[in-house]
């Protein structure tokens, strides 16, 4: 059983683990457990796996009426988790973080089922910290995680990511054609996550005339909440080389086309970009628990593997930062080489090995 979700940063590593396990053991049964109403309830079936939903919800950091229902939803989720484990009889349970992994791993641990926690971030999430005492193994992507987990059970595997981003050099020409990009202009790829990032979008709006004047072209994932507003602003300016898209499905082609990437610093994004090996400007979201994204970005910056631009500085500072990098080809090459050193292309297979050991 694999549990967790809420965001793509939890869901896609979980699916990658399932794929890696299924490749080795195609006769296995794999059951996902998510939170009702969250995006895993759609994304996991699309990937070909069964999923059950728990009624669990998060605890808000301020007092709300929603918090009054939290104990009841948690109790219902624990009871449903007991029934699922009794019915499915898993040999092991994997938790990737997110609301649903709490009740399921708690019940599994109480019943003696081996549990493995996959922590994507450089700062462990609350659910994973609460489950740490009885988990048998921790697969992590950053050094120094013994601050949160017992050192003798930590395995430095990296974060599992999609396989199609491992060979990008051969895709450059088809990528440029796919997105309608010009071969004589440098490509800036802008990513704010599948939902979008207000600050990054506003920074692109503030910079896009400058980017076009400088001879750049922009491939811009706005996110579904912002696409209408951003395409409207783009139409007002009449720019030919700024391409706004709600969501980019062909991420391997987008990465192949890019000369420079501007991105939030979610754990999955950092792990993917480490394999892509392109220069990156990280603009961490300030609105995530424990300021995870800034910590993720700093882990790269400390290795001279990325540039950090603070959220509050992004709108005014993005154009200058891009110009500074584009004027320094050697610096861009150095950033790309250094971030590639942080990549773990075999993460999913390494996690499967740990699971095999637990089950044996």
The closest of 62, 90, 61, 58 to 77, measured between CA atoms, is: 58
Q: Are 120 and 28 in contact (CB under 8 A)?
A: no
- Is 231 labelled a binding residue? no
7 annotated to a ligand binding site: yes
Does the annotation flag 170 for ligand binding? no
Count CB neighbours of 120 within 10 A: 29
271 is in an annotated binding site: yes
Q: Is 238 annotated among the ligand-binding residues?
A: no
Is residue 3 part of an annotated ligand binding site? no
Determine whether the annotation assigns residue 272 to a binding site: yes
Contacts of 336 (CB under 8 A, 6+ apart): 277, 278, 279
Residue 270 assigned to a binding site: yes
- Do 286 and 311 contact (CB within 8 A), yes or no? yes
Cα of first residue to Cα of last residue in the chain, in angstroms, is 16
194 is in an annotated binding site: yes
101 assigned binding-site residue: no
- The strands making up 2-3's β-sheet, listed across from edge to edge, are 50-54, 31-35, 2-3, 93-95, 115-119, 137-140, 154-156
CA 187/CA 254 separation, integer angstroms: 10
What is the Cα gyration radius of the chain?
21
221 is in an annotated binding site: no
Q: Is 268 annotated as a binding residue?
A: yes
- Binding-site annotation: residue ranges: 7-9, 121, 162, 194, 248, 267-272, 293
Residue ranges of the binding site for UDP-N-acetyl-alpha-D-glucosamine: 7-9, 121, 162, 194, 248, 267-272, 293
């Amino acid at each position: 059983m694999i549990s967790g979700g809420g965001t793509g940063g939890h869901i896609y590593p979980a699916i990658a683990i399932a794929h890696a396990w299924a490749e080795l053991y195609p006769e296995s049964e794999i059951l996902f457990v998510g939170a009702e109403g969250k995006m895993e309830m759609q994304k996991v079936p699309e990937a070909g796996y069964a999923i059950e939903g728990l009624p669990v919800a998060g605890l808000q950091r301020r007092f709300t009426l929603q918090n009054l229902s939290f104990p009841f939803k948690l109790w219902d989720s624990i009871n449903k988790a007991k029934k699922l484990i009794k019915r499915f009889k898993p040999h092991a349970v994997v938790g990737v973080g997110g609301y649903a992994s709490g009740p399921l791993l708690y019940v599994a641990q109480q019943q003696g089922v081996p549990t493995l926690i996959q922590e994507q971030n450089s700062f462990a999430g609350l659910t994973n910290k609460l489950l740490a005492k009885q988990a048998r193994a921790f697969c992590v992507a950053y050094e120094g995680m013994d601050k949160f987990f017992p050192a003798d059970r930590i395995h430095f595997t990296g974060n599992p990511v999609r396989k199609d981003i491992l060979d990008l050099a051969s895709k450059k020409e088809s990528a440029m054609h796919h997105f309608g990009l010009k071969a004589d202009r440098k490509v800036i790829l802008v990513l704010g996550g599948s939902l979008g990032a207000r600050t990054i979008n506003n920074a692109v709006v503030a910079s896009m005339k400058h980017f076009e004047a400088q001879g750049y072209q922009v491939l811009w994932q706005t996110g579904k909440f912002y696409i209408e507003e951003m395409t409207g602003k783009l139409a007002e300016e009449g720019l030919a080389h700024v391409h706004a898209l709600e969501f980019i499905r062909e991420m391997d082609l987008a990465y192949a086309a890019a000369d420079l990437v501007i991105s939030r610093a979610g754990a999955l994004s950092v792990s993917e970009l480490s394999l892509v090996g392109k220069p990156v400007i990280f603009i961490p979201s300030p609105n995530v628990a424990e300021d995870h994204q800034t910590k993720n970005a700093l882990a790269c910056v400390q290795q001279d593997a990325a540039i950090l631009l603070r959220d509050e500085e992004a709108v005014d500072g993005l154009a200058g930062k891009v110009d500074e990098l584009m004027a320094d080809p050697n610096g861009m090459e150095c950033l790309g080489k250094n971030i590639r050193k942080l990549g773990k292309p075999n993460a999913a297979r390494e996690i499967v090995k740990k699971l095999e050991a637990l089950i044996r």
